[in-house]
Chains A and B, each alone.
Chain A
Amino acid sequence: MSNFNKVAVLGFGKMGGGIAQVVAQSGREVIVLDLNDAAIEAGRQRVSDFLNDGIRRGKIDGARRDEVLARITGTTDVAGLAGVELVIEAAAEVREIKRDLFARVAAIVGDEAVITTNTSAISVSDLATSVPRPERFAGLHFFNPAQLMKLVEVVGALQSDPTVIRDLVAFGEDIGKIAVVVKDRPGFLINSLLMPYLNDVVQELDDGLASAEDIDTAIKLGLGYKQGPLELLDLIGLDVHAHATHAAYEATFDSRFAPPPLLQAMVHAGTIGNKSGRGFRAGKDA
């Protein structure tokens, strides 16, 4: 059983920063790699802002914030990752970028380290072939925002050693998450279920089944979901969903994943949800 006491996160974006924070909150040392000092500074600032918000809402105190921040170090040099026991990659969702990064990181961290990817759209078994020891490679899929979302999917690549999967489940639970083991399929578990449902709703909306507001109301009141599907799409971002479901479609040719025409049209029109101020529900008077 490995505790993964020293962890590297690749990428100090919103996702990488969130993962780094969660891991640091569990008492572990985290080193975060990004391309330049500005990216690292911006990433640290986001984590700091998140923790400060926690202080404002009375969840944590200043000492806790300082302690968590002190356990997170940034680096722009892959060599700085020497000695880590676990790598969690949260870089851009581009296959070639990830493969290149894994090859360089694997050469530094050594044979015993476990290397994982937080990809949501690329095959973990494919990415595993970019490292010398694919049996020590797996998926570790967090949900956005990683600090708040309780689930982490532990994705076994075809090559993954079962003990690596076991260790990652224990790690996931130790950092306070619900860790579930899933297969390496497009969308893994949650997104493979969610994407067809969201696509289906968008198509039915376009087909005039009911208004966007009434669909959300029905789902929330009738099924007790916290969010209706259309407000959820506004939150995720229509562009993000369209990209993910298109990737799943290309990997499966399963029409349930095909982005519906209305979704594509709204992406083209720039009405992509909350971040653009307009979407299915955003920007409309309820």
Chain B
Amino acid sequence: MTQNIRKVAVLGAGTMGSGIAVVAARAGHEVRLYDLTDDKVARGLDIVHAFFAKSAKLGKLSPEAADAAIARIVGTTDLGDLAPVEVAIEAVFEDLAVKKDLLPRLEEVIAPDALIHTNTSTLSVTSIASTVKRPERVVGTHYCNPAALMKLVEVADGRHTAPSARDRTLTFLKDMGQVVVVTKDRPGFILNRFLIPWENSCIRALEAGLATVESIDAAVPAALGHPMGPFKLLDIVGMDVHHQVASRLYEQLRDPRFAPPPLVERMIAAGDLGRKTGRGFYTYDDNRLFGS
């Protein structure tokens, strides 16, 4: 439980935004969860409620604490309601234009010294901060999915971020019980910087016939202590998401290790996106290996 109870805004009530709202409310902060429409806000609040209900059921929180945390999160579609917050965490759609459009409007309503956190995974913190008047208070804070469970946050300064804003950000995150790593405003930060080439090289090994889907997924956890093989993970992530992240990093880095291998596009063309379509590297209706 944090010592300083703050007013926190989370912008974007999707999976990430709702998860971040859970983290903040669980730590005792008063959270305003913003999105464009009532429907989106309601869906976000549903995710929050479901999470806290499950936490209470699993005994992670007392029912009272869960109810109190839920009560600390208020939904809104009015940016003006965010005026009193000390920290505004942006977790809207991963699109530079959308973020660049939102932040100046946010900046108009919040206090001049309020922190603006951007939860981007593949975009430049500096670019996202380029449309605000005071970029020195914009800090990149990349939470991991599912945010309500994952402790890690990657923190990156933009070119104009003030050291004091970064330090306040680190304190805020640590007070919420997150584990913070400090990195640079470079494409992919640490995690995606290393994960995307790794997954791509596994896909290329498969394309090259070095081994099969099944054997690579058996070998990697056995030899390297990964929690699951690369293809099981890709099926969870989704081939469309992998393609998008890889392409975005490739566009910035021009390094072929990040470019999505042809098999990714073939699978997307075939509609084999992974678990969510029932078929990716594996099929999920009968659990039998598909392809390879």
Contact = CB atoms under 8 A, between A and B. Distances in A.
Interface string B185-207: 01001110111011001100100
A21 B254 CA distance: 48
B215 A225 contact: no
A143 interface: yes
B215 A200 contact: no
Contacts of A194: 224
A48 interface: no
Given A182-B210, A209-B183, 18 more contacts: A178-B219, A178-B222, A183-B210, A183-B211, A189-B215, A190-B223, A192-B210, A200-B257, A209-B190, A211-B182, A217-B179, A218-B152, A218-B183, A218-B189, A218-B191, A222-B150, A225-B227, A226-B225
Given A182-B211, A197-B194, A210-B183, A151 B222 contact: yes
Contact of A193 (B151, B179, B195, B220): B220
B181 interface: yes
Contacts of A204: 193-194
26 contacts: A149-B222, A151-B219, A178-B222, A182-B210, A183-B208, A183-B210, A189-B210, A189-B211, A189-B215, A189-B216, A190-B224, A193-B201, A193-B205, A194-B224, A197-B194, A197-B198, A197-B201, A200-B197, A209-B186, A210-B181, A210-B182, A217-B152, A218-B190, A223-B191, A224-B226, A256-B257
B242 interface: no
A226 B225 CA distance: 5
B215 A182 contact: yes
- Size category of the A interface is 35 or more
A75 to B, nearest CB: 31
Contacts of B201: 193, 196-197
B218 interface: yes
A271 to B, nearest CB: 23
Contacts of B152: 217-218, 221-222
B207 to A, nearest CB: 12
Contacts of A215: 181, 190
Interface in B268-289: none
Nearest to B227: A224
A192 B189 CA distance: 24
A189 B219 contact: yes
Contact of B194 (A150, A181, A201, A208): A201
Contact of A223 (B186, B210, B218, B226): B226
A135 interface: no
A36 interface: no
- Size category of the B interface is 35 or more
Contacts of B181: 210, 214-215, 217-218
Given A209-B193, A219-B191, A189 B218 contact: no
A225 B224 CA distance: 8
Given A181-B215, A217-B181, A221-B151, A197 B197 contact: yes
Contact of A221 (B179, B183, B193, B257): B179
B219 A209 contact: no
A225 B225 contact: yes
Contacts of B183: 209-210, 214, 218
Contacts of B30: none
Contacts of B150: 221-222
B227 A151 contact: no
Contacts of A208: 184
Contacts of B215: 180-182, 189
A190 to B, nearest CB: 5
A178 B218 CA distance: 7
Interface in B214-260: 215-216, 218-220, 222-227, 257
Contacts of A149: 222-223
Contacts of B257: 196, 200, 256
A227 B184 contact: no
Interface in A205-262: 208-211, 214-215, 217-219, 221-227, 229, 256
A98 interface: no
A199 B152 CA distance: 24
A281 interface: no
A217 B205 CA distance: 27
B59 to A, nearest CB: 23
Contacts of A229: 194
Nearest to A189: B211
B154 interface: yes
Contacts of A183: 208-211
B144 interface: yes
B263 to A, nearest CB: 16
